[in-house]
Amino acid sequence: MIALRPIHKDEFSAFLDYFIQDYAAEITVNYRLSEQDALTQATRDAEQSFPQAEQTPDQIVLCITLQQDGSEQHIGYFWYKADTVLKSAYINDFYIFERFRRQGYGSAAMKALEQKLRAEEFMQLKLRVAEGNQQARQLYSANGFCVTGINMNKLL
């Protein structure tokens, strides 16, 4: 069974380490920045997003866990920004560790997040997916997400 829990203080630096590297790689591919510029931007964005680390208001980082045989195994992360006024949540990052992919855990985690947010009376869930991330696009489509626009950029 998939469960979600708040990230612990001692886990937050591992989340940032993963996120910054992964986001920098995405920036390099999708925004055509150099690896160093992408790493600088990803680091800056993470620092600005989490001025109070895991205690930053409205920035929610959850550990996705697999509960089986009385044990808990950490299999990924959700990071979303909660807008309690508009009752919407924006997923900034959703990551299932490589060895747990293609086993249905992504969809199960998405359903668990939707259930959590419904219980908190949220009405909308939003996200952005990179153009080349076909696996994620298929997962989101299969879970009821639809395209609402297209992001574009141009280097000057």
DSSP sequence for 75-89: EEEEEEEEETTTTEE
Q: What is the pLDDT along the chain (156 residues), one digit of tens a residue?
A: 999 999 999 999 999 999 999 999 999 998 889 999 999 999 999 999 999 999 999 999 999 999 988 999 999 999 999 999 999 999 999 999 999 999 999 999 999 999 999 999 999 999 998 888 888 889 898 989 988 888 777 778
Distance from the first to the final alpha carbon of the chain: 48
DSSP conformational letter for 98: G
Q: What is the pLDDT of residue 141?
A: 87
CB neighbours of residue 62 within 10 Å: 20
Contact 146, 137 (CB under 8 A): no
Structure tokens at 148: 């609402």
Residues in the chain: 156
